[in-house]
Chain A
């Protein structure tokens, strides 16, 4: 059973517009969430995170929103740039139980068209 799901395998967006990537989770013990960005044949790089005590965290063009009651988080990229084209993974952690152990979603491939 997948505890972290990214239901959209791919997303195509025009340059300059908003990209919204979604992630759902089932484990109510998750209390820390992260987004990673991955280019082909490279390792993922950390993008942004959010603790369950917050509902929003912003870093430049990237904002993560957390809706605990719906067990849903989303990553907003505004404005989208062609260099943002990559696979985005959300990950979750139950820090009280498992420290830095991460459970990853299946990824969403974002394509930003010039």
Chain B
């Protein structure tokens, strides 16, 4: 059963703490992406990676960091520098970035920071 898993489904943290969101895919996709969704808004790209050990900033990368040490895994760290970290975070993957095809999404992680 191929797919994308994100864990945990819900995450609560105190302000000032870093937190890492997990994303794993077994679709053998090269490219992986992180988005955040805020109420009433669309998906905004945080970071993306087209290949292992390489990643690029998206539209709203400030306060976030990522790593891509394995093809299957693309964890996102929400740092204390992110001013409004409470949001719904979505991970996605796709075949080679320059091929035709849609992105496949994980179930998401809802992060609440108080």
CB-CB under 8 A from A100, the residues of chain B are 31, 94-99, 101-103
Further 20 A-B residue pairs, CB within 8 A, beyond A44-B43, A99-B98? A4-B42, A9-B40, A32-B100, A41-B108, A43-B107, A44-B90, A46-B103, A99-B31, A99-B50, A99-B96, A100-B94, A100-B96, A100-B101, A102-B45, A104-B42, A104-B44, A106-B40, A107-B40, A107-B41, A107-B42
In this complex, how many residues of chain B approach chain A with their Cβ under 8 Å: the count is 32
Asked whether, in the complex, the Cβ of A99 is within 8 Å of the Cβ of B41, the reply is no
The 8 A CB mask of B35-73 against A (1 = contact, 0 = none) is: 100001111110010100000000000000000000000
| Least CB separation from B90: chain A residue | A43
The 8 A CB mask of A92-107 against B (1 = contact, 0 = none) is: 0001000111101111
Contacts across chains A and B counted by CB atoms under 8 Å: 65
| Least CB separation from A34: chain B residue | B102
- Minimum CB–CB distance from B12 to chain A (whole Å) comes to 15
| Least CB separation from A95: chain B residue | B100
- Overall SS of chain A's interface: loop
Asked whether, in the complex, the Cβ of B110 is within 8 Å of the Cβ of A41, the reply is yes
Enumerate A43-58 residues with CB–CB distance to B below 8 Å: 43-46, 49
- Minimum CB–CB distance from B27 to chain A (whole Å) comes to 13
CB-CB under 8 A from B41, the residues of chain A are 106-107
Asked whether, in the complex, the Cβ of A42 is within 8 Å of the Cβ of B40, the reply is no
